[in-house]
């Protein structure tokens, strides 16, 4: 390998966000990417167009941790996690999300390797929006708590170690590369954009919790990838939000899909069965602008239109030229 070439590790690189990050990294000059995935939720088809080194392993595999500690990578993007927010097994969630992350922190600290990791807006639970770093961090489920625990562990590390650690709290991400989430038996964890699109294309009425007025911060994958790449040059450690900075209701999503798909459909509303459901999220982006020098570029309507165009064309895998 060229000594001037970056060698970057992406854990969970066969997943939705991980594959898009991998694709963007490979588009950079002099960059080689190693993807590690246990394929519990990732999909090989996301990697089919990507010329990267691939390993089937857990993100806390002992050999991998030794390589990180020895300085074999110029940066680590940690996207591996249980991402299904309806999983209620507390021990499993903390073991996979939080414990493994602590091992990665120790390895990157040993070699002073930059670590960029996926946190979540789930840390805010149903705290009043807008959601700002250091405020209202009251998760409503074990998934959100496991991510908050990661942020807290990271804060302890970056107060004591010189390596840069960046946590990115993703809000409601949607876009190319997530289709496999709807194809696993009984596992409908893809974004509402994809789920509603598929319902409409199948000739069905799109279904929303009553009455579609819940407000979320929907962020397009192209903006999420840009935030991750910006973290490669962030001057210091910290955690920040990655969202659009604007809450939109699910009825707005239906309107955007109607416009992009050229259809008129009526919505079927039904009762929400989840008592931990977040009814209003909205990212406060002040820390993101300061730490990453980044801000989102894709409004809901533009993001949905771009996504629908790719879906209608049969595109699979990460977004092209992300």
Q: What angle do CA 162, 169, 99 make, to 5 degrees?
A: 65
Q: Is 181 a catalytic residue?
A: yes
pLDDT digits (tens, 9 = 90+) for 206-233: 999 999 999 999 999 999 999 999 999 9
Mean pLDDT along residues 147-152: 98
Quick one: tokens of 236? 């210091």
51 pLDDT tier (thresholds 50, 70, 90): very high
- Over residues 31-39, the mean pLDDT reads 97
Task: For the chain, give the mean pLDDT.
Answer: 94
Coil vs helix vs strand at 256: helix
Distances (CA, A) of 183 to 9, 111, 133, 171, 178: 27, 39, 34, 23, 10
147 an active-site residue? no
Give the per-residue pLDDT at 1: 47
C-alpha 93/C-alpha 322 separation (Å) is 30
CB count in 10 Å sphere of residue 136: 15
Q: What digits encode the pLDDT tens for the residues 238-292?
A: 999 999 999 999 999 999 999 999 999 999 999 998 887 888 999 999 999 999 9
Q: Of the listed 181, 197, 220, 307, which one is catalytic? A: 181
pLDDT, tens digit (0-9, with 9 covering 90-100), for 62-114: 999 999 999 999 999 999 999 888 889 999 999 999 999 999 999 999 999 99
pLDDT-derived band at 185 (thresholds 50, 70, 90) equals: very low
Furthest-apart CA pair in the chain: how many Å? 58
Which pTM value belongs to this model?
A: 0.95
Q: Which two tokens stand for residue 29?
A: 């000059």
What value does the mean pLDDT take over residues 172-185? 85
Fold of 6-171+220-243+282-297: Rossmann fold (3.40.50)
Rounded to an integer, what is the distance from CA 95 to the centroid of its chain?
19
The two counts, helices (H) then strands (E), for the chain are 10, 13
Confidence check: pLDDT of 162 > 90: no
DSSP for residue 310? H
Residue of 143, 158, 174, 220 marked active site = 143
């Amino acid at each position: 390998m060229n000594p001037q070439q970056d060698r970057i590790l992406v854990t969970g690189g066969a997943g939705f966000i991980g594959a898009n990050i991998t694709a963007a990294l490979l588009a950079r000059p002099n960059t080689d990417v190693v993807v590690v995935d246990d394929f519990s939720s990732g999909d090989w088809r996301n990697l089919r167009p990507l010329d990267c080194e691939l390993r089937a392993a857990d993100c806390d595999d002992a050999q991998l941790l030794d390589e990180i500690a020895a300085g074999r990578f110029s940066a680590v993007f940690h996207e591996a996690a249980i991402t299904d927010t309806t999983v209620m097994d507390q021990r499993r969630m903390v073991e996979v999300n939080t414990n493994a992350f602590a091992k990665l922190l120790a390895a990157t600290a040993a070699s002073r390797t930059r670590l960029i990791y996926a946190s979540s807006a789930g840390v805010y639970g149903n705290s009043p929006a807008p959601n700002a770093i250091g405020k209202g961090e009251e998760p409503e489920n074990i998934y959100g708590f496991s991510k908050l625990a990661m942020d807290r562990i990271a804060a302890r590390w970056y107060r004591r170690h010189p390596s840069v650690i960046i946590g990115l709290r993703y809000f409601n991400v949607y876009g190319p590369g997530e289709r496999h989430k709807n194809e696993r038996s009984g596992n409908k964890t893809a974004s509402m954009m994809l789920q509603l699109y598929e319902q409409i294309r199948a000739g069905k009425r799109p279904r929303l919790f009553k009455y579609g007025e819940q407000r979320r911060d929907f962020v397009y994958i192209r903006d999420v990838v840009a935030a991750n790449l910006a973290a490669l040059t962030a001057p210091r450690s910290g955690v920040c939000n990655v969202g659009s900075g604007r809450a939109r209701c699910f009825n707005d999503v239906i309107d955007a899909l109607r416009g992009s798909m050229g259809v008129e459909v009526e919505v079927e509303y039904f009762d929400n069965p989840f008592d931990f459901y977040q009814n209003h999220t909205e990212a406060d982006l002040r820390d993101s602008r300061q730490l990453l020098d980044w801000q989102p570029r894709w409004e809901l309507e533009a993001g949905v239109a771009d996504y629908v165009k790719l879906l209608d064309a049969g595109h699979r895998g990460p977004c092209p030229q992300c």
